[in-house]
């Protein structure tokens, strides 16, 4: 399954003007990075993948629409899968994108490949 280009466009609009934001295709989706740190992705599995403070993982999950990302059978703290479609609430999408951008911005910038 490919990522939803309409959802990617909405994310792009929300991060427009943010300093240090780049896009990169990865994991079948389109990731938006802040200073080299992944913030939010229009996931190739549908919805969003959002990077958050690992300490907030449990408080943000609801077991249905928001759940920890699982990689190789292991839940990854600080990474959430959010079931959201392009046509859903602009406010809800804006909150998730802002949360991911804010956390990614709090991390040290990654050196760029030369």
**For residues 50 and 40, is the Cβ–Cβ distance under 8 A?**
yes
The domain in which residue 90 lies consists of 5-106
The contacts of residue 59 (CB under 8 Å, 6+ apart) are none
Angle at 59 between CA 88 and CA 99, to 5 degrees: 50
Tell whether 25 is covered by a domain.
yes
pLDDT computed for residue 87 by the predictor: 63
Give dist(CA 56, CA 97) in Å, integer: 15
Tell whether 78 is covered by a domain.
yes
Output the domain CATH number for residue 65.
3.90.1150.30
Asked whether the CA dihedral 74, 58, 89, 36 is positive or negative, the reply is negative
Confidence of residue 84 (pLDDT cuts 50, 70, 90): confident
Tell me the pLDDT of the chain averaged across its residues. Answer: 91
Give dist(CA 38, CA 21) in Å, integer: 9
* pTM of this structure: 0.90
């Amino acid at each position: 399954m490919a990522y939803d280009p309409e959802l990617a466009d909405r994310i792009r609009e929300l991060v427009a003007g943010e300093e240090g934001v780049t896009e990169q295709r990865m994991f079948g989706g389109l990731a938006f990075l802040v200073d080299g740190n992944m913030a939010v992705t229009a996931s190739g599995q549908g919805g969003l993948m959002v990077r958050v403070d690992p300490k907030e993982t449990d408080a943000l999950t609801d077991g249905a629409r928001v759940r920890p990302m699982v990689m190789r059978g292991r839940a990854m703290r600080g990474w959430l899968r959010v079931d959201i479609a392009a046509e859903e609430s602009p406010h809800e999408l804006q909150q998730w994108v802002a949360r991911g951008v804010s956390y990614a911005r709090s991390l040290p910038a990654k050196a760029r490949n030369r």
